[in-house]
Amino acid sequence: MTLGAIHDIGYRHYEGRRLGRAYIIRSLYVHNLRAAYGLGRPARAKVMPFLLAAMMLLPAAGSVAVLAITKEPNTLIVYSQYATIMQVVVAIFLATQAPVIASRELRFRVVPLYFSRPVVPPDFTLAKVGAFATALFVLLAVPVTVLFVGALVTRADKMKPLVMPDGEVARAMPLGDHVLHYLGALLGCVLFALVLAAIALVIAAFTPRRGFGVAAVIAVYMVSSTMVLIVQGIAEARTNFELAGWAGLFAPFNLVDAVQVRLLGAEKAAVAVPPGPWGGPVALALCALLVAGAVAVLSLRFRKAGLS
């Protein structure tokens, strides 16, 4: 008898368990989350996401280092402002990774293979939006956590007050405030992640050609933020601060910052946010509308692709 021979034992039917919808959605979610960081894909797919994640971490680590050396409490970057400060890196992550999630399976016509199985378009879409939002949340929340842990380790709350050149006194924030601000910033990160993921995925899903999606996401981000900055600049020059505030709703980062400032009590990172008691609720409603609209549009887009 030959050792190591392969014996064809013929076809066997599968008698085992078949799991339901929850398992399928969970598998899809994990699959897409891994894909967002290039896991389970060739090495070159991992370069961009990990490079950008490292770039996101650097300023946070630097800020903690400066805090530890100078012992000046105001050197630490404000938690809720981190996403806005780093928005260019975040936008590049959106542009390079949203096409991986939204347009790769459209481009290679893989979608019909899902919908001929017990997968329905809404589940498919929710798994993708959820996975990409989670990937973004990790990108944003990890450096904010580094700042917070840095503040705890260096006892930033016990640092001596600092008298600024203009006579203002920068006092150390009490520990309780650090915790509150950190948790508020995490909520802000969730909102940033959901809104930015929704917008980027829709753009990528309608530009399935390779490279084109990357350019489209960057273009929408750049054009919207630049236009808003111009309008805000003109409005402020004419002392029309109300218009400057409302204009902020039309740039994604500014929109979420408005919710952070008006509803979560954060310090303003954008140029201007909508004023008055309605500013916060309107911004939040707009965020919710964007995410819900994106899910609906993506679901229709994928359903159509499933029939091609």
Partner 1 sequence: MPIIATQNLTMRFGGFTALNDLSLAVEPGVVGLVGANGAGKSTLIKILLGLLPPTSGQAAVLDLDVAGQGPLIRERVGYMPEYDCLPPDVSATELVVHLARMCGLPPTAARERAADTLRHVGLYEERYRPIGGYSTGMRQRVKLAQALVHDPQLVFLDEPTNGLDPAGRDEMLALIRRVGTEFGISVLVTSHLLGELERICDHVVVIDGGRLLRSSAVDSFTEVSGVLVVEVEEERDALGQRLATAGLAVRPEGRHLLVDIADEGTYDLIRDGVAELGVGLIRLEQRRHHIEEVFR
Q: Is 126 in the site for partner 1 (CB under 8 A)?
A: no
CB-nearer residue toward partner 1: 58 or 113: 113
Buried b (16+ CB within 10 A) or exposed e, 248-283: bbebbbbbbbbbbbbbbebebbbbbbbeeeebbebb
CB of 111 to partner 1, least distance (A): 8
Site for partner 1 in 45-74 (CB under 8 A): 45
CB-nearer residue toward partner 1: 34 or 71: 34
Q: Is 112 in the site for partner 1 (CB under 8 A)?
A: yes
Between CA 185 and CA 80 the distance in angstroms is: 5
CB-nearer residue toward partner 1: 6 or 169: 6
CB-nearer residue toward partner 1: 9 or 164: 9
Axis-axis angle for helices 87-102, 43-70 (nearest 10) = 160
Select from 35-43, 231-239, 262-270, 279-287 the region that touches partner 1 (CB under 8 A): 35-43
Residues in binding contact with partner 1, number by CB under 8 A? 35
Select from 36-44, 50-58, 209-217, 273-281 the region that touches partner 1 (CB under 8 A): 36-44
Q: Is 211 in the site for partner 1 (CB under 8 A)?
A: no
Between CA 288 and CA 304 the distance in angstroms is: 25
Pairing label, strands 169-170, 162-163? antiparallel
Of 29, 82, 93, 114, the one binding partner 1 by CB under 8 A: 114
Beta partners for residue 163, in sequence order: 169
Of 2, 7, 17, 169, the one binding partner 1 by CB under 8 A: 17
CB-nearer residue toward partner 1: 4 or 11: 11
List of long-range contacts for 116-125, beta carbons under 8 Å, 24+ apart:
116/306, 118/21, 118/24, 119/24, 119/28, 121/299, 121/300, 121/302, 121/303, 121/306, 122/295, 122/299, 123/21, 123/24, 123/25, 123/28, 124/28, 124/299, 124/302, 125/295, 125/298, 125/299, 125/302
CB-nearer residue toward partner 1: 71 or 104: 104
286, 247 contact by CB (below 8 A): no
DSSP H or E stretch at residue 245 = helix 241-247
Q: Is 10 in the site for partner 1 (CB under 8 A)?
A: yes
Q: Is 113 in the site for partner 1 (CB under 8 A)?
A: yes
Of 2, 3, 5, 14, the one binding partner 1 by CB under 8 A: 14
Note the residues at the interface with partner 1 (CB under 8 A): 10-14, 16-20, 23-24, 27-28, 31, 40-42, 45, 104-105, 108-110, 112-120, 306-307
